[in-house]
Structure 1
Amino acid sequence: MTQTKILVDSNSYFRLAQNIHPLLSEPFGEEQYTLYPHKDLTFEFKRKARLRNKFHWFTEPKFVENRKRFLRIGKKEQAEIEDNFEHIWAYIKDNRLNPLEVDTRILAAALALDVPVVTDDRDMREVAALFEIHCIGTLELMKMMLDAKHIKMAKVRQVAAQWQYDNDWPYGGWQKEYNKLFGEKPPKE
């Protein structure tokens, strides 16, 4: 069966990968959902001291190995990604919106490849909606994984507890969506 490819942005990767391993390149569910990182993930990590300090596990060999596979992109698709990037980036600049260049590259790739992107970044989601790019939140992704029996509820709780411990929540009010999706309040750290 053909994979249903999904791009994972950096914020969702950092919120999930430490506790759900291997996170990437492992098909799950009837749809064979398969998560892939964007090629700029490592560059973004190396560039930002805050990420290096907070997510020290990122450089451990098992995580490095899991990030080696990217979506295959042909020359035609690469050209389309670049065109999309220029168009989306110009729109962002003209309208003084907040997504970063790396976020825009992820959106451009998702649009060209017609794949969803996992992100909790509000600004990214707003721009994605304008360009009809399908977004999935981190909680939605965990629900998909749970429903496909790719993870157990204990793992969902572990991830949510880690967010509490790290003071790194997907967005304000995430607890309400957690309760709605999983039928319980999120755990305390």
Structure 2
Amino acid sequence: MLVLLDTNAYLRLAKRIRPAVGISFGQKGYVLTVHKSVEDEVHRNPRLKAKYPWFDSEEFIAERLAKQIRLSEDDKQGIAIVQSVLHGSVLSDVHRYTSGGRSPPGQTDCWLLALGQVKSAIVVTDDLGMHELAKDFGIAVWHGYELLDKLRSAKVVNGTLIKEIYQALEVNGDLTKSWQEVKHTLFAKIFGAKAE
């Protein structure tokens, strides 16, 4: 089963989990993959390019090119239709997707969710608006920390690496509230249980 990383999920995990894409893990045979849209988004955003200079190193480019998901013309047509429906749903009730500090899913977010639906993939994103939209349409999504937990269960990562990932997210100012909330519950064996 394909597990499709969105841009932020890839950027949070790819440098420390090697290789980051193309690996198969777990009893269900999950396979981590990316689409060229991840590359395009980073290249369009000077802030991301500056924050993640390793992104364009030869090793990471080669890995992404070798393991990118390829789309047929039928896939592209199906994705365009689903994207239109998803984005229309967002536009019809923007407030619903912005409550609680969320940002509404944009065209690219809707495209990625549409890709997940068309290819029966799980989309990994920490964007809460995308989670809400995915729930509305029955599209499978995981938070980045859920992927990390599944990688731990499959013995792809260990507690030391999870600690390193959390430390890097903290240093980069990229530790989301959802990741903070599970640090002492989902990863209690690594960080200890939360003190009451």
Report the TM-score, using the length of structure 2 for normalisation. 0.87
The residue aligned with 2:131 is 125
Q: Percent identity over the alignment?
A: 27
Q: 2:22 aligns with which of 20, 25, 34?
A: 25
Q: State the distance in 1 between where 2:179 and 2:71 align.
A: 34
The structure with more helix, counted as a fraction of residues: 2
Indicate the SS of the match to 1:117. Answer: strand
SS in 2 for 1:181: coil
Q: Which of 116, 119, 131 is 1:113 aligned to? A: 119
Question: Are the equivalent residues in 2 in contact too, given 1:139–1:178 (CA < 8 A)?
Answer: no
Give the unaligned 5+ runs of structure 1.
Answer: none
What's the counterpart of residue 91 of structure 1?
89
Q: How many residues get paired?
A: 182
Q: After superposition, what is the alpha-carbon deviation per residue over 1:124-150, rounded to whole angstroms, capped at 9, x for unaligned? A: 111111111111111111110011011
- Matched with 1:14 is 11
1:175 matched residue in structure 2:
180
**1:56: which partner in 2?**
53
What is the CA deviation profile of residues 75-111 of structure 1, one whole-angstrom value per residue up to 9, with x for unaligned ones? 2222111110111112222222411221111001001
Query: Do the aligned partners of 2:36 and 2:68 also contact (CA within 8 Å) in 1?
Result: yes
What residue ranges of structure 2 are gaps of 5+ in the alignment?
A: 98-103
> In structure 1, the residue corresponding to 2:118 is in which secondary structure?
helix
Aligned alpha-carbon RMSD (Å): 1.5
Give the deviation of 1:173 after TM superposition.
4.8
Runs of 4+ that moved beyond 4 A: none
Note if contact 2:22-2:32 (Cα within 8 Å) is conserved in structure 1.
yes
